Amino acid sequence: MRMPVYKSHGVGIARRRIDRNMQDMTHQTQPADAAATDPVPNVRFAADEEYHGLRRVLTYGTYDLLHYGHIRLLRRAAELGDYLIVALSTDEFNKLKGKTSFYSYPVRREMLEGVRYVDLVIPEETWEQKISDVQKYQVDVVVMGSDWKDDPRFEALRPYCDVVYLDRTDGISTTEVRSALNGGSVHGR
Ligand code: CTP
């Protein structure tokens, strides 16, 4: 059976709820700590017929100290399709990038899974996994903030899917929140 592709937000949420239930079922089959580290937490959906009509969007990031710049990026990414996957940098991968997040991977993952626009969180463990992610999850479009515009690591995905860069939200970043908490103040915009 081919499922209809939902574009409007109201119905999209119902669609997302169904997907989330699928995720919950998958997670229940794994030990709690495996759910956080398993490199392919939910391969089942990629082969599952009911997902075939969905336009899948994939984005990458650390999403530490989740803030409104992140939420706005995720909302606009979700609007480009029907199913949003976030490849979330693991703590080990962040180390490789010279970054240390405030929240650990399992906590960052839990918070992203609580965001209504996000359907699935997978681990980002290497720079090289992108093509394989696109193929494994049958991704139609990879979306990144404009700070990544023309980065060869994303441009290399063009033979496999669309690549879209969205404008960043001005005046907010994890780095800024961190430094504001160390003495300054941060405002909503
Ligand atoms: N992002 C955005 N607008 C912001 C901050 C981030 O659109 N103000 C987007 C980034 O472009 C990226 C995603 O959110 O596509 C995740 O970004 P991430 O690097 O995790 O967040 P930053 O706040 O940019 O973190 P840092 O200060 O550590 O670079």
> Could you report the per-residue pLDDT of 88-115, keeping only the tens digit for each?
999 999 999 999 999 999 999 999 999 9
**Average pLDDT of the segment spanning 123-144:** 97
Digit-coded pLDDT (tens) for 64-85: 999 999 999 999 999 999 999 9
**Average pLDDT of the segment spanning 13-32:** 43
The verdict on whether 99 is a catalytic residue reads yes
* 36 CA to centre of ligand 1 in angstroms: 22
* 29 CA to centre of ligand 1 in angstroms: 33
* 86 CA to centre of ligand 1 in angstroms: 13
The residue whose C-alpha atom lies closest to atom 15 belonging to ligand 1 is 145
**Average pLDDT of the segment spanning 110-130:** 97
Three-class secondary structure assignment of 25-81? HHHHCCCHHHHHHCCCCCCHHHHCHHHCCCCEEEEEECCCCCCHHHHHHHHHHHCCC
Looking at residue 50, its pLDDT comes to 62
In this prediction, residue 53 has a pLDDT band, given cuts at 50, 70 and 90, of confident
How many of the other CB atoms lie within 10 Å of CB of 50?
A: 13
Count how many Cα atoms sit within 13 Å of the Cα of residue 147 in the half-sphere of its side chain: 10
pLDDT over 70 at 41, yes or no: no
Q: How far apart are CA 182 and CA 70, in angstroms?
A: 21
Looking at residue 77, its pLDDT comes to 98
Q: Among 56-70, 116-130, 173-187, whose mean pLDDT is lowest?
A: 173-187
The verdict on whether 149 is a catalytic residue reads no
Which atom of ligand 1 is the closest one to the Cα of 99? 28
Residue of 138, 132, 136, 131 lying closest to 159 (CA atoms)? 131
What residues form DSSP beta bridges with 122? 87
pLDDT over 50 at 132, yes or no: yes
Q: Ligand 1 — pocket residues by CB below 6 A?
A: 61-63, 69-70, 73, 144-145, 147, 168-169, 172-175
Q: Is 100 helix (H, G, I), strand (E, B) or coil?
A: coil
Mean pLDDT for all residues in the chain:
81
pLDDT over 70 at 12, yes or no: no
Residue of 26, 69, 78, 24 lying closest to 172 (CA atoms)? 69
Residue of 97, 130, 136, 149 marked catalytic: 97
